[in-house]
């Protein structure tokens, strides 16, 4: 009895307080009660109408699958609409300007707030599923579907809803104005509609072919676990970014995000390499290992290219709170610089991750010599993309240092980089179109070198165009790095503990 009592006391002391508060309010509110009753009524009516009025149930071999698809469409559609909306609106209301003081006077960490609300939303989704699950299991008696398929599809629905909750909490936690938040919410709605369509079509395919007969094969479990790992890693990244958005500006907001991103990158990359280096014959329909590795590499490069712009917006002067955490051992300071908040550290961390991604792609695909030409072209396109984006970011840094004299916020670097990127991508193409409107097209490659995505078009219309583009991008990036050396040296010299640091102007404390 003492062991049980100690376990209860341990859980009572360490349970998430936000989770307890949110669950108590959810149980006491009418929203959850009405939602569960509505689900119960819809399921009863759907089953009653199907059994009483559908005369094909006695003869059809797919009646159970058809009824299950109806119930699953209702369940996933409404959960995907209401549960993320419920979680996002509650966090956005607490994040609003009139209530923002509550976030800073409490001793609860931002991570506890985000994870508490995420777990609350998942608990509500589980309540809804627990109401619908008995009726969905009854469809097994109508033939046309097996129990493993029912369980697998319901678990897939929970994963999709969890992804929607993570996206809603991320948007709600951002310190932005409501028009931008509304645009992001609309983008999330489009993404959830797309996810809903893919999930329902996937569920239809699983019901048609069945899941139970495939569970004994690795050809089923490897793609399933890989997809699940990718989705969970993306959800975790969104939640860590939401925690960083809630944290005070003076804190080291980037360190948890970079540590998690590095760990998730390493685990997913290692899994993709292990699967890709397995002995799958080329051209085999089951050759999904190399497809996963290429998808992982392309997704990582795309996210890290966005990370370059975000890193350029970070502080370039550390405050006293951060300088107190600088290690006194000089050998540990490079690690602190790379993983802590700061523009130079963010660019270095992103560059190392990009280099590691390309090396992992090369290592995973290298044994298959027939794929080497495609691999080299893909690496040229990726190198050209990241070097072009980095060049635009460094141009924005130069403009802030020498044109605006560092009197503006570092957020201007990201804004300048995106504006210059848009101008460099569109203006040359418009000039070429006006100059020669009859014969100009994407085959006129002279006007595409300022576009980060130009490597794809160049390689499509001209063999070896991606290699030329990547070489030009590397030269441009090298020039920008040399011009920004004083900016980088200034941050390296400031990477010292607070007692050893040189005095810094108060206007540069961000």
Q: What is the mean pLDDT of residues 450-463?
A: 71
**Nearest partner of 149 among 209, 71, 197, judged by Cα:** 209
Q: Contact at 8 Å (CB) between 71 and 136?
A: yes
Could you give the 3-state DSSP secondary structure of residue 210? Answer: coil
Report the range out of 58-62, 92-96, 357-361 with the highest average pLDDT. Answer: 357-361
Q: Is the pLDDT of residue 168 over 90?
A: yes
| pLDDT above 60: residue 509 | no
Compute the C-alpha angle 417/485/322, nearest 5°: 80
pLDDT at 46: 82
pLDDT of residue 170: 94
485-to-197, 391, 403, 481 alpha-carbon distances in Å: 49, 13, 17, 6
Kindly indicate the confidence band of residue 159, based on its pLDDT and cuts at 50, 70 and 90. very high
**Which pLDDT value is given to residue 110?**
85
Question: Which residue is it, tokens 């006293």?
Answer: 320
Q: Region 128-133: what's the mean pLDDT?
A: 89
Q: Residues 185-212: pLDDT tens digits?
A: 999 999 999 999 999 998 888 887 777 7
Indicate whether 322 pLDDT > 90: no
Contact 466/444 with Cβ under 8 angstroms? no
Token digits of residue 370: 């027939």
State residue 324 phi and psi, 5-degree precision.
Answer: -70, -20
**Is the pLDDT reported for residue 507 higher than 70?**
no
Residue 505: pLDDT band with limits 50, 70, 90: very low
Q: What pLDDT was estimated at residue 508?
A: 45
* Mean pLDDT for the stretch of residues 21-46: 83
The domain segmentation of the chain, as residue ranges, is 19-211, 216-510
- Helix (H, G, I), strand (E, B), or coil: what is residue 427? helix
How many Å apart are CA 160 and CA 199, to the nearest integer? 8
User: Is it the case that residue 252 has pLDDT exceeding 60?
Assistant: yes
Provide mean pLDDT across the span 341-366. 90
pLDDT for 54 equals 67
Task: Please enumerate, as own/partner, the contacts of 49-52 that have beta carbons within 8 Å and a separation of 24 or more.
Answer: 50/142
Q: Mean of the pLDDT values across residues 322-351?
A: 89
Helix (H) or strand (E) holding 154: helix 147-173
Report the chain's mean pLDDT, rounded to a whole number: 83
Kindly report, residue by residue over 425-447, the tens digit of the pLDDT.
888 877 777 776 665 555 556 66
pLDDT of residue 411 exceeding 90, the answer is no
Specify the pLDDT at position 237: 95
pLDDT digits (tens, 9 = 90+) for 271-296: 988 888 775 555 554 456 678 888 89
| Global pTM value | 0.86
> What is the C-alpha separation between 366 and 210, in angstroms, rounded?
36
The mean pLDDT value for 30-45 works out to 84
Share above pLDDT 90 across residues of the chain, in percent, rounded to a whole number: 31
* pLDDT at residue 506, as a whole number: 43
Which pLDDT belongs to residue 239?
A: 95
């Amino acid at each position: 009895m003492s062991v049980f009592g100690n376990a209860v006391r341990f859980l009572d002391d360490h349970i998430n307080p936000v989770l307890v508060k949110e669950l108590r309010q959810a149980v006491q509110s009418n929203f959850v009660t009405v939602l569960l009753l509505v689900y119960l009524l819809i399921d009863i009516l759907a089953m009653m109408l199907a059994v009483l009025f559908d005369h094909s149930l006695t003869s059809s071999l797919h009646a159970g699958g058809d009824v299950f698809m109806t119930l699953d469409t209702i369940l996933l559609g409404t959960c995907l609409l209401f549960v993320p909306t419920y979680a996002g609106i509650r966090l956005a209301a607490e994040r609003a300007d009139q209530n923002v003081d509550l976030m800073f006077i409490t001793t609860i960490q931002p991570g506890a707030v985000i994870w508490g609300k995420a777990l609350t939303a998942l608990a509500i989704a589980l309540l809804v599923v627990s109401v619908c699950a008995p009726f969905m299991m009854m469809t097994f008696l109508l033939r046309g579907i097996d129990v493993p398929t029912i369980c697998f599809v319901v678990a897939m629905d929970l994963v999709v809803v969890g992804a929607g909750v993570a996206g809603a909490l991320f948007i709600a936690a951002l310190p932005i104005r409501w028009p931008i938040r509304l645009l992001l919410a609309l983008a999330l709605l489009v993404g959830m509609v797309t996810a809903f369509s893919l999930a329902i079509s996937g569920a239809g395919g699983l019901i048609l072919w069945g899941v139970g007969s495939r569970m004994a094969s690795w050809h089923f479990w490897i793609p399933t676990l890989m997809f699940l790992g990718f989705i969970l890693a993306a959800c975790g990244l969104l939640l860590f970014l939401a925690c960083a958005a809630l944290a005070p500006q003076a804190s080291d907001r980037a360190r948890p995000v970079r540590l998690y991103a590095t760990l998730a990158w390493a685990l997913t990359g290692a899994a993709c390499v292990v699967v890709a280096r397995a002995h799958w014959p080329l051209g085999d329909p089951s050759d999904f290992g190399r497809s996963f590795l290429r998808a992982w590499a392309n997704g990582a490069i795309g996210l890290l290219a966005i990370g370059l712009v975000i890193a350029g917006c970070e502080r370039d002067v550390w405050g006293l709170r951060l300088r107190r955490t600088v290690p006194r051992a000089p050998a540990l300071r490079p690690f602190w610089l790379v993983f802590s908040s700061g523009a130079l550290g963010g660019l270095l961390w992103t560059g190392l991750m990009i280099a590691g991604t390309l090396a992992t792609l090369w290592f995973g695909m290298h044994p298959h010599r027939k794929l080497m030409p495609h691999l080299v072209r893909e690496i040229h396109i990726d190198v050209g993309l990241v070097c072009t984006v980095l060049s635009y970011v460094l141009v924005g840094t130069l403009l802030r240092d020498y044109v605006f004299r560092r009197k503006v916020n570092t957020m201007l670097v990201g804004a300048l980089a995106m504006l210059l990127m848009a101008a460099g991508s569109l203006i040359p193409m418009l000039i070429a179109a006006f100059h020669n409107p009859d014969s100009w097209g994407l085959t006129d490659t002279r006007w595409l070198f300022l576009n980060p995505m130009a490597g794809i078009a160049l390689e499509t219309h001209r063999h070896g165009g991606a290699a030329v583009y990547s070489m030009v991008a590397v030269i441009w990036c090298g020039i920008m790095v040399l011009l920004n050396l004083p900016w980088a040296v200034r941050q390296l010299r400031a990477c010292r503990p607070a007692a050893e640091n040189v005095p810094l102007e108060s206007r540069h404390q961000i």
